[in-house]
Amino acid sequence: MTSGSTRIVLALALILGVSPLSASSQVVLHFDDLSFLNYDPLPATYGDGLDPQVPDVQYRTFHADGVTVFEEHLELWHLDYGGLSNVVFASANGTIAEIMLIPEIGFGVRLVSFAMAGYSQVDRANTLMRILDAEGNVVFDFAANGPVPILGANGASSVFTPNIALGGPLRLQWGTDWNVGLDNLVFEGLPLASVPEPSTNFLLLLGLLALGAGRWCRRNRT
């Protein structure tokens, strides 16, 4: 998602009365406060309780089907995922990484934004990149129109701002190239009453699809 689409998402969010920048309780998972060696598993407790409304964050690597678990962790890496440092990635190539945000009963959770970049300073792509609910229903599919480019060359990285809230656990999956690492994931818990109706997320999705269509048209005029 480019800054252009980011602006549109923010604009939509503002139009819909969803405040993407308001809460002071936003948590950032940056992995910079850990001592580790490359390939070490990310501790299962990392990020737990930083937001009391989201007591548990879980990390898994799935087989390529995105359903069966390969290993109950993600792994850590120091440098050269683009310009990011101290990132997490799937524990084997050809698999799918997942971060699951689990709110307290009576609360929802909003995935505000996250960054990704390609190793080793190489542009990559996610053939699979999506947000699911606890039951595995796809709430938002970043790759609906094809693989999602991920920057990495020349110290670049890609920032995504889904700003999507669910009334229960939220899962972010990406794969199947373990050379795509994740960093700076921002989320917040919020009372169920302030979780947008599913139709609001649907409108955000429509906005993104409209943007994609616009891009497609422009590309085909040149």
Q: Which is nearer to Ca ion, 86 or 173 (CB)?
A: 86
Q: Which is nearer to Ca ion, 48 or 104 (CB)?
A: 48
Binding mask 74-103 for Ca ion (x = CB under 5 A): ------------x-----------------
Q: How far apart are CA 58 and CA 46, in angstroms?
A: 8
Per CB under 5 A, the list member of 56, 104, 123, 133 interacting with Ca ion is 56
Give least dist CB 75 to Ca ion, A: 14
Q: Which is nearer to Ca ion, 18 or 124 (CB)?
A: 124
Q: Which is nearer to Ca ion, 56 or 133 (CB)?
A: 56
Query: How many H-runs (helices) and E-runs (strands) does the chain carry?
Result: 2, 15
Binding mask 140-179 for Ca ion (x = CB under 5 A): ----------------------------------------
Q: Which is nearer to Ca ion, 76 or 166 (CB)?
A: 76
Nearest to 22 by CA among 186, 155, 157: 186
Instruction: Judge contact between 144 and 92, C-beta under 8 A.
Output: no
Residue 3: exposed, middle, or buried by beta-carbon count in 10 A (0-12, 13-18, 19+)?
exposed
* Count of positions (residues) in the chain: 222
- Which range touches Ca ion (CB under 5 A), out of 42-50, 94-102, 171-179, 214-222? 42-50
Site membership for Ca ion, residue 104 (CB under 5 A): no
Task: Take residue 80 and report the two structure tokens written for it.
Answer: 């050269």
% helix / strand / coil in the chain, to the nearest 5? Answer: 20, 40, 45
Per CB under 5 A, the list member of 48, 71, 133, 141 interacting with Ca ion is 48
Site membership for Ca ion, residue 72 (CB under 5 A): no
Sites for Ca ion among residues 203-222 (CB under 5 A): none
Instruction: Judge contact between 74 and 89, C-beta under 8 A.
Output: yes
Strands 96-102 and 148-150: unpaired
- Which range touches Ca ion (CB under 5 A), out of 32-40, 128-136, 148-156, 214-222? 32-40
Residue 197: exposed, middle, or buried by beta-carbon count in 10 A (0-12, 13-18, 19+)?
exposed
Binding interface with Ca ion (CB under 5 A)? 30-32, 44, 48, 56, 86, 183
